[in-house]
Amino acid sequence: MRKKVLGVLVSGRGSNLQAIVDAINADRLVAKIGVVISDNPDANALRRIAGLDIPTAVVERKNYASKPEFEAAIIEQLDLHHVELVVLAGFMRILSPQFINRFPMRIMNIHPALLPSFPGLDAQAQALQYGVKVSGATVHFVDEGMDSGPIILQEAVPVEDDDTVTTLADRILHLEHRLYVRAVRLYCEGRIHISGRAVKILPPRQNS
């Protein structure tokens, strides 16, 4: 199977990037990271892949006069490396409709809540404040809304009575690493079918 080319956008610690790299190295994910792009030159995500044969690019917002110019620079890098699927892994920028429409249903994001509940920032704190008994993670395609795109995969974790934002976030993060790799693998295997808002997971293809 030909390896799909991923473009990973990061801003911070890069733990989901690490999970994807580990899955590729362990042959649990047949894909290639074409480029890792960060808007933060000090992102720990870049340090995680230092020394690996993975191209990187730093595209800082402050170096561009406008958001369209900033996003055009990111798109230039994605195109340069022939990226087929854009993976947001802690990228702390809201993408414009113009960017999203450039890669329709080819941008994935992971959110630390069971969407459509608790979109946006501080999802774990929102969940605790609301008093829910389960939370979790959602992998979805990115559309023009806030965490509102078609849902690919979801999985729940319990919310314990003594949870803090930190303990709940840690529990969800362990789930994220596994769930995101699974969603990317489904895409790379051609097993995702989108019908309106519904994402159908197709059965594995049989070898002929």
Q: Give domain limits for the chain.
A: 4-201
Distance CA 80, CA 19 (A): 24
Who contacts 105 (Cβ-Cβ below 8 Å, separation ≥6)?
141, 150, 194
Distance CA 171, CA 124 (A): 10
Distance set, CA 106 to CA 21, 64, 155, 163 (Å): 19, 25, 21, 35
Q: How is residue 158 written in tokens?
A: 């319990």
Q: What's residue 208's pLDDT?
A: 40
Distance CA 47, CA 53 (A): 13
Catalytic annotation, pick one of 81, 111, 140, 177: 111
Q: What's residue 148's pLDDT?
A: 96
Task: Identify the CATH number of the domain defined by range 4-201.
Answer: 3.40.50.170
The residues of the chain scoring below 50 in pLDDT are 208
Q: Which amino acid is at 137?
A: A
Q: Which amino acid is at 90?
A: G
Q: What's residue 207's pLDDT?
A: 60
User: 93-125: per-residue pLDDT in tens?
Assistant: 999 999 999 999 999 999 999 999 999 999 999
Known catalytic residue at 140:
no
